[in-house]
A and B are shown apart, each in its own frame.
Chain A
């Protein structure tokens, strides 16, 4: 494939592989051959090389060691917390359902009230409880993100 004459466009695209060291020796030789004999591709190659060099010289601020030491613990805590959230959610729901039943017990035990109405009220209450727990959970999660947001600027 490389034995056929390369167009400038092909050379420029394949030049990326040359810069990033992602092509074979054989391909390299063919590209460099063209670059040496073609001034406009040569200029481009030099520009790209400078750009890559400048990018690699960019120095990002290092994070203080203490953050790195603590990193795993932070992740681990989230893993643990994820499980405890499930337990808490289930727990809160059971307590609310139980409490709700205690309060409305007379209503549910009243044989005068039709069964359909009891099912309706029961489903309605259960829905409200699940919704309440999930909204509460979401609010708590968002507050955590907001904490950072307000510190900024």
Chain B
């Protein structure tokens, strides 16, 4: 199996088929990352594929000393944010929507995204109530399964501040869960 960098070098030399190595390797993570923004299967597929295409076009600007996925993730994130913002301004924004994080698609669609489980649905709701900064770092750690080094790369912050950012985010998530638990 080719490494990421070997595949990238081959792509730059014009071997399009070699891009497949990267797409097959990261498509699952890319899809779920997009799903965290779109909350909708078809959009997540479309946007993650679009991100692979744009990353391919931008491959010449990729710095080999970095990791492909963290670089790719930033491209994907931009596409998702643009999509969601456009969709939000397009749709009518109700008063209730005002309290929701700005960068997430307004419908939570737990039934389309999660296997049925009360605990999971509650947690899904709690995560999506968080401010974008908190929500994102939790997703990167728990669902994208990134290491602290990778998180630091994606968020462009020093590795030393990953722990305190995570601490704050998790603490607020705990509060959110507690609050929702009391409500039901």
Chain A residues in contact with chain B, CB under 8 A? 12-17, 20, 22, 47-48, 51-52, 54-61, 63, 67-68, 71-72, 74-76, 78-79, 82, 145, 148-149, 151-153
* Contact status of A55 and B123, CB under 8 A, knowing A75-B53, A148-B43: yes
Instruction: Name the distance in Å between A20's Cβ and chain B's nearest Cβ.
Output: 7
A15 to B20 Cα, complex, angstroms: 39
Residue from B32, B107, B163 within 8 A of A60 (CB atoms): B32
A sample of 29 inter-chain contacts (CB < 8 A) reads A12-B167, A13-B164, A14-B163, A15-B167, A16-B167, A48-B170, A48-B174, A57-B117, A58-B114, A59-B114, A59-B120, A60-B32, A61-B112, A61-B113, A67-B45, A68-B28, A71-B23, A71-B24, A71-B45, A74-B45, A75-B49, A75-B52, A76-B20, A78-B49, A79-B19, A79-B56, A82-B53, A82-B57, A149-B90
Instruction: Name the distance in Å between A137's Cβ and chain B's nearest Cβ.
Output: 15
- The secondary structure that dominates the A interface is helix
B173 interfacial contact with A, CB 8 Å: yes
Residue from B27, B42, B138, B166 within 8 A of A151 (CB atoms): B42
**Contact flags (1/0) for B103-130 with A, using CB distance below 8 Å?**
0000100001111010110011000000
B102 interfacial contact with A, CB 8 Å: no
CB < 8 Å A-B pair total: 103
Nearest B residue to A20 via CB reads B141
**Contact flags (1/0) for B160-171 with A, using CB distance below 8 Å?**
001110110010
- The secondary structure that dominates the B interface is helix
* Contact status of A63 and B41, CB under 8 A, knowing A51-B177, A75-B52: yes
Query: Is there contact, CB below 8 Å, between B20 and A55?
Result: no
Instruction: Name the distance in Å between A72's Cβ and chain B's nearest Cβ.
Output: 5
Chain A residues within an 8 Å CB radius of B138:
55
B8 interfacial contact with A, CB 8 Å: no
B63 interfacial contact with A, CB 8 Å: no
A151 to B87 Cα, complex, angstroms: 13
A79 to B183 Cα, complex, angstroms: 49
B9 interfacial contact with A, CB 8 Å: no
Chain B residues within an 8 Å CB radius of A16:
162-163, 166-167, 170
A59 to B120 Cα, complex, angstroms: 7
Chain B residues within an 8 Å CB radius of A151:
42
Nearest B residue to A153 via CB reads B107
Query: Is there contact, CB below 8 Å, between B115 and A59?
Result: yes
B69 interfacial contact with A, CB 8 Å: no
Chain B residues within an 8 Å CB radius of A145:
46, 83
Query: Is there contact, CB below 8 Å, between A54 and B174?
Result: no
Give the most central of A47, A55, A56, A61: most B CB within 10 Å.
Answer: A55
B31 interfacial contact with A, CB 8 Å: yes
Chain A residues within an 8 Å CB radius of B182:
none
